[in-house]
Chain A
């Protein structure tokens, strides 16, 4: 079973549809029930909208223990806010402490570089991902493939060893981050056509090792 953690934000239907498409034989559950996270073999941590609300809901639903178990033991895929939440801190919503699974900060695009001054935010659309390291989730996906992004805040991982993909929007930011059984992407694989489905397909077969 693959459980998509439902924090009541944004469109999880797309993630569900895409996983059902690539893994028709597996049970896909969209749930905010901790038991469904405990029972899952793989967990997807998605998210859209504001990270402050994301963490509020996360705490209200008391999912910390179940998610901690998944973080330690299961292949886990973070998407968008699900990726940002894995860093130490995010500037959004007056500043939010993250899960601290990866060293680094999440900041607004405009905070970065003078070159970013006239950037449109959100970054909305297709951009290329530079695969900085090989990973089982990149299997069958050429380097510099286009993925669909929608976000105004972006992460910059501090340890190069954690970075699996970078994308340029005003500056290079961390588009994919990973460590052991964790992999997280800023883009939306569920909206990234063939390449996105390939990544999700890789995830449904991933044993959580690199």
Chain B
């Protein structure tokens, strides 16, 4: 008996609709976030993360509506990320029914915000999303923190940054390898392991999952506490139960 490693599907939401194509065998409306979340819940997903990629701030209210609808039907933890810049953004999502918010860019531009947010709402609901990219290869590899979808290097070392965010009260880290994101070639487990061993808080590994073995490797090699995946579930290649089965076979504790 032990804490289970979590499998977390991530849904990108644009103006209230799930994008990137989610495919379930018998789904009526593949773009409906409520229906999609319900399906993942039925499949046994341990949590769900919504990433609001809406460009216009007018549509931010739409995300809160989506969260409210999902939260009234789906009783597993819900995290919302994207556009969380102020304490009022956090209140709005928590009041709508989110359990956690994920902060990315705002943490980089204003690290004190993370302190404020965790002091105000409690560490348990503050997830810090970290976008990292390898900058030094060779014997002493290094990773940097990037913004603007991985285009802009901030000059901050990723491991140092993760430690700092943990010190500032983050309850959890969502670490995305910008090198692997979208490649389906597996997590950057060297990065994951280094971060996981450097911080006392849980780590969600993200970026690069292409098959079920990648999820196993994220836990075994990357020492991740949770694995996030989007496309392998969305496109119907694999289901959450298949992923859990594979992890269980590899000796990983999962909630079955």
A residues sitting closer than 8 Å to B (CB atoms) are 9-11, 13-14, 17-18, 20-21, 48-50, 120-128, 130, 144, 146, 148-152, 167-169, 190-193, 196-197
Report B122-141 CB contacts with A as 1/0, cut-off 8 Å: 11110000000000000000
Residues of B within 8 A of A (CB): 1-6, 41, 46, 71-73, 75-77, 94-99, 121-125, 171-172, 200-203, 225-226, 255
| A–B Cβ pairs within 8 angstroms, 9 of them | A9-B122, A10-B121, A11-B125, A13-B71, A49-B124, A120-B200, A120-B203, A122-B123, A124-B171
User: Per a CB cutoff under 8 Å, which of A9, A14, A126, A130 touches B3?
Assistant: A126
A94 to B187, CA, bound (A): 40
Q: A11-B98, A125-B3 are in contact. List 18 more A-B contacts (CB 8 A).
A: A10-B94, A10-B124, A13-B95, A17-B75, A17-B97, A49-B124, A120-B201, A123-B3, A125-B6, A125-B226, A126-B6, A149-B3, A150-B124, A150-B171, A151-B124, A191-B76, A192-B75, A193-B76
Are A122 and B75 also in contact (CB < 8 A) when A127-B2, A127-B3, A168-B1 are?
no
The smallest beta-carbon distance between A60 and chain B, in angstroms, is 17
**Given the complex, which residues of B lie within 8 Å of A197, measured CB to CB?**
75
Given the known inter-chain contacts A13-B96, A14-B99, A121-B201, please indicate yes or no for A48 contacting B71, CB distance below 8 A.
no
> Which residues from chain A contact B124 at a C-beta distance below 8 Å?
10, 48-49, 122, 124, 150-151
- Are A120 and B202 in touch, CB under 8 angstroms? yes
Query: B1 near A124 (CB under 8 angstroms)?
Result: no
Q: Of A11, A146, A148, A152, which is in contact with the most chain B CB atoms at under 10 Å from its CB?
A: A11
Secondary structure call for the B interface: loop
Q: From A10, A17, A150, give the contact of B72 (CB < 8 A).
A: A17
Cβ contact within 8 Å between B4 and A49: no
Contacts of B98 in A (CB 8 A): 11
- On whether the beta carbons of B76 and A148 are closer than 8 Å, the reply is yes
Please indicate the chain B residues that have their CB under 8 angstroms from the CB of A128 in the complex: 1
- Asked if B46 contacts A130 (CB within 8 A), the reply is no
On whether the beta carbons of A124 and B172 are closer than 8 Å, the reply is yes
Tell me whether B75 and A125 are in contact (CB under 8 A): no
> Which residue of chain A lies nearest to B4 when distances are taken between CB atoms in the complex?
A126
List chain B residues, Cβ under 8 A from A169. 2-3
* Given A11-B94, A144-B1, residue A49 in contact with residue B121 (CB < 8 A): yes
Residues of A within 8 A of B95 (CB): 11, 13
- The closest CB in chain B to the CB of A130 belongs to B1
